[in-house]
């Protein structure tokens, strides 16, 4: 896009230099004009006309450009006018008026100056204008691309932030479930369900750690339940033993205060206890009475003789 105006500028400068060489030949030819002479201007005139014909082929844009074509047409007309004036000057030189010849040569010089400065200046200005337009178009395109890239960048940032928020929400939700399960464990619910302990990520590791803690709590809870059962059983036994001891104390108190003689033996006739009335009746002590069988003591005979009686 920017190459086309640059090429035109280069072509304008090349054609300007080419015309400058032709103008030098024209100046050499006009410097020899003298009244009464017959100057040969065939070569300069041919060069001017050939140059005019070649302008349209050497300086053109891709496509049509009315302003450029108008300037080139004007330039060609001025060059043709230069050739015509040169022919006219050559025609009046042999027998013409000196003032008329001078006027024609002056017009040739002025026309040459106008062509070099004005016509080629307009072409150069047009090419520079096209170049500036191309640069502005490129700048506009670059600006639009920059805006598009900025929009894409911010869209990407927004998308990344959205994804991060979603990821954070997802992991926060998972962590909240793990935290809820841990709170239930801490409050005593040892059978709380843990969310996905087989996950391969960090949440899974945390869940497995809590699961190990849960298993320890379950084992401790089971041990506590067994201990409670044992303690309850022991408490019941202690209560029963205390009750029995209390009954025994009560029975012994009653037993000791009975006025009649009472002797208690086991199934084999060995004396286990006796009240004071019985000890007085038998005229003995409890330690002595407990060493013999009751029938042996009452019958005053040996256990071998009496053994068949109680067996």
User: Each residue of 244-274: pLDDT tens digit?
Assistant: 888 777 777 777 777 787 888 887 778 878 8
pLDDT tens, residue by residue, 273-287 = 888 888 887 788 888
What's the pTM value of the predicted model, to 2 decimals?
Answer: 0.42
DSSP one-letter code for 229: H
Q: What are phi and psi of 199, to 5 degrees?
A: -65, 145
Which pairs count as long-range contacts for 299-304, CB under 8 Å and 24+ apart, including other chains? none
Q: Which of 43, 11, 50, 49 is nearest to 24 (CA)?
A: 43
Last residue in a domain, options 128, 151, 174: 151
pLDDT on residue 191 = 66
- Give residue-wise pLDDT tens across range 205-233: 777 777 767 677 777 777 878 888 888 88
Cβ–Cβ < 8 Å for 92, 100: yes
Contact 235, 245 (CB under 8 A): no
Task: Check whether residue 19 and residue 145 sit in a common domain.
Answer: yes
Considering 120, 151, 182, which residue would you say is the last residue of a domain?
151
Distance between alpha carbon 144 and the CA centroid of its chain, in Å? Answer: 27
What pLDDT does 221 receive? 75
Taking a C-beta distance cutoff of 8 angstroms, is the pair 134, 4 a contact? yes
> Number of H helices and number of E strands within the chain?
10, 2
Start-to-end Cα distance in the chain: 139
Q: CATH code at 28?
A: 1.20.120
Query: Do residues 8 and 142 share a domain?
Result: yes
71, part of any domain: yes
pLDDT of residue 283: 80
Cβ–Cβ < 8 Å for 71, 122: yes
Calculate the average pLDDT of the chain.
77
Mean pLDDT on 126-138: 80
- The predicted pLDDT at position 241 comes to 86
Does a structural domain hold residue 239? no
Residues spanned by the domain of 82: 3-151
Tokens of 137: 């178009």
- The pLDDT of residue 62 is above 50: no
Total count of domains within the chain: 2
Within a 10 A sphere around the Cβ of 174, how many other Cβ atoms?
A: 19
96: in domain: yes
Looking at the domain assignment, is residue 131 inside a domain?
yes
Residue 212, in any domain of the structure: no
In a domain, 144, yes or no: yes
Q: Return the pLDDT at 78.
A: 84
């Amino acid at each position: 896009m920017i190459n086309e105006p640059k090429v035109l500028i280069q072509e304008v400068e090349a054609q300007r230099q080419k015309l400058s060489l032709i103008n030098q030949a024209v100046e050499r030819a006009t410097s020899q004009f003298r009244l009464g002479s017959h100057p040969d201007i065939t070569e300069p005139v041919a060069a001017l006309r050939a140059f005019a014909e070649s302008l349209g082929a050497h300086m053109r844009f891709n496509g049509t450009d009315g302003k450029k074509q108008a300037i080139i047409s004007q330039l060609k007309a001025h060059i043709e006018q230069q050739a015509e004036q040169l022919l006219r000057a050559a025609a009046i030189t042999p027998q013409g008026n000196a003032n008329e010849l001078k006027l024609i040569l002056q017009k040739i010089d002025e026309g040459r100056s106008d062509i070099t400065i004005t016509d080629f200046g307009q072409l150069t200005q047009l090419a520079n204008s096209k170049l500036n337009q191309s640069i502005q178009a490129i700048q506009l395109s670059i600006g639009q691309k920059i805006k598009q890239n900025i929009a894409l960048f911010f869209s990407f940032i927004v998308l990344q932030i959205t994804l991060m928020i979603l990821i954070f929400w997802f992991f926060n939700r998972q962590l909240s479930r793990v935290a809820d399960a841990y709170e239930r464990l801490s409050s005593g619910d040892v059978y709380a369900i843990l969310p996905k302990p087989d996950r391969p990520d960090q949440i899974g590791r945390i869940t497995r750690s809590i699961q190990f803690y849960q298993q320890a709590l379950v084992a401790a809870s089971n041990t506590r339940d067994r201990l409670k059962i044992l303690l309850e059983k022991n408490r019941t036994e202690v209560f029963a033993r205390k009750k029995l001891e209390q009954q025994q104390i009560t029975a012994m108190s009653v037993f000791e205060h009975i006025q009649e003689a009472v002797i208690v033996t086991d199934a084999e006739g060995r004396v286990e206890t006796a009240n004071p009335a019985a000890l007085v009746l038998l005229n003995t002590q409890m330690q002595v009475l407990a060493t013999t069988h009751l029938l042996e003591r009452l019958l005053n005979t040996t256990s071998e003789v009496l053994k068949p009686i109680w067996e």
